[in-house]
Chain A
């Protein structure tokens, strides 16, 4: 591919004290690609994701997002403006309504007018299917609704890339689908996405590539169908046998 990758991760190492969470990870993600990362807990998959918008500092290596190297405070904020993130625990601002959650960063970071931010926010709530909850506080929403608001909040910044850190792991089973549908929709619109998740259905339907991480390394990388049904590595097979019932 002649095109420059929108995310370039080069030989990244990350240590938490004596534990080495990432042991030299390299990964390129291209514009419009959807990459799903699976792996056991403690494999470093969330850490890798959090390095991309520098919520986690890395000790060695280099990450370049949309041509901007993550090396100065100024650059980090510039990258964060272009990279949306969705968390396992939603992290909606508890003292604000759904609509206010979507408006805040638009005004503070993007410097949009209140009226403009409000219109964008409302349209995004329509897009994720809960405009009637615009004035509800997070505590009044179900987990699935909270996560959809969180996705809309990230989208309000018009990100070029969306990172999902186990977006459905904290949800009741009957709410997982409503969140995955929003994500699927987003993937079909051509959003560049890096998703840490064990939702095989989503990976098969939307992902260009699936990766298995273990022990701070990328063990195997393939198209989702290939990785899930016919993995090359013993470690991948062993992991999948525990996840797929």
Chain B
């Protein structure tokens, strides 16, 4: 007697495209990443003056951009989760607090927020210090990188809250009811049942947020952080070569964003599951 294929094997049979192994197909957009990297390498190697000089000058800015983006993003994922759950809370105080947060933050341009945290927030701290006569607060000086990350986290956390909220709401109500009917608490049900499913659904928008953050991180150049954009401006000011400088800066941003987009696409494919 022939062995009956199991359900999962049957499904695998159905989705298999003849002649093409899904894992063997490389996403053709990877070639765009390779192309941009190659053009930077060619410029640096073939026209060392000015491209090699620009490249070496702005390279530490690339590291700052990557560092600020990744650190901020890790905090944004946490703030977004808390904000998303807060926006779904039945407790009116918690709901009101997080709704107010989201509404206010979304109504102020991100550049204004970054400037606020770096220039205005310290004045508030110093004022409190004077009022309470606390020496440590009177002498408070803002750390540019810390304030830039704080500003990005507060701003993007609000947008991320809405993504989490939508993701959690997209999970059918029956999933929570089934978990609760088994005796799980609300938080256990969230942790083991709702969030694992919601996170897979919100992965594409979360990935887009990462790429948007990578680009918006160029705004921290306005608040004394020596990121890629600021290093480009410094080089231009010193050499008066705007065209090659900004060609190089733009290409470096492109490498980072295109590469991130491919990684996001790859993760999406890996975690996809049928509903």
Contact = CB atoms under 8 A, between A and B. Distances in A.
A141 B172 CA distance: 18
Nearest to A53: B181
A155 to B, nearest CB: 11
A224 to B, nearest CB: 26
A89 B174 contact: yes
A55 B182 contact: no
Interface string B10-34: 0100000000000000000000000
B181 A80 contact: yes
B192 A108 contact: yes
Contacts of A53: 181
B258 interface: no
Interface in B171-219: 172, 174-175, 177-185, 188, 192-193, 196-197, 200
Interface in A64-104: 77, 80-81, 83-85, 87, 89, 91-95, 104
B177 A80 contact: no
B274 A77 contact: no
A92 B181 CA distance: 12
Size category of the A interface is 20 to 34
Contacts of A150: 178
Interface of B is mostly: helix
A53 B183 CA distance: 10
A132 B274 CA distance: 20
B180 A55 contact: yes
A153 B172 CA distance: 18
A137 interface: yes
A95 B179 CA distance: 13
A203 B188 CA distance: 36
Contact of B181 (A55, A137, A140): A55
Contacts of A126: none
Given A95-B196, A95-B197, A109 B178 contact: no
Contacts of B6: 132, 136
A133 interface: yes
Interface string B76-88: 0000000000000
Contact of A80 (B183, B193, B275): B183
Interface in A87-143: 87, 89, 91-95, 104-105, 108-109, 132-133, 135-137, 139-141
Contacts of B275: 94, 139
B174 A87 contact: yes
A157 interface: yes
Given A80-B183, A140-B11, A157-B182, 11 more contacts: A55-B180, A85-B181, A87-B177, A89-B174, A92-B178, A104-B182, A108-B192, A136-B8, A137-B274, A154-B181, A154-B182
22 contacts: A85-B181, A89-B172, A91-B177, A91-B178, A92-B178, A93-B175, A93-B197, A94-B175, A95-B197, A95-B200, A95-B273, A105-B183, A108-B184, A137-B8, A137-B273, A139-B273, A139-B275, A140-B11, A141-B7, A154-B182, A157-B182, A157-B183
- In the A-B complex, list the 4 residue pairs whose CB atoms are closest, starting with the nearest: A91-B178, A105-B182, A91-B174, A81-B183
